[in-house]
Amino acid sequence: MKSSFSKLINGDKPVLIDFHATWCGPCKAMSPILKQVAQSVGDEVRIIKIDIDKNQTLAQQLQVRGVPTFMLYKDGNLKWRASGMQSKQQLLAQVEGLSDTTL
């Protein structure tokens, strides 16, 4: 599990990870916002959703205490982390700060 996660975050593109749960209301509310962010960033940023119930070990290793939790990685390094609802603008601002191009 850990090695595949390392491969995931060590790519040449920034990676935005959404740690979520199927039973989480705010997580469901974030889904359309993440789709809008994905449309805005195109292939400049990878957006990955990880279900904490199916990936409990990873969630524990990363100390995910609540959902939704967002983590933004670039070159394998954590650049930003936030828990709770985020607006499209908040997410885009973080992503744009890491991307080589203006979105």
Q: 14-64: per-residue pLDDT in tens?
A: 999 999 999 999 999 999 999 999 999 999 999 999 999 999 999 999 999
Residue 51 backbone dihedrals phi, psi, to 5 degrees: -80, 120
Give the separation between CA 40 and CA 34, rounded to whole angstroms.
10
Residue 103 lies in a domain: no
Residue 42 lies in a domain: yes
- 54 is a catalytic site residue: no
Domains in the chain, number: 1
Catalytic residue of the set 15, 17, 21, 27 = 27
The range of the structural domain enclosing residue 64 comes to 1-10+25-81
Residue 62 lies in a domain: yes
According to the model, what pLDDT value does residue 83 have? 97
- 27 is a catalytic site residue: yes
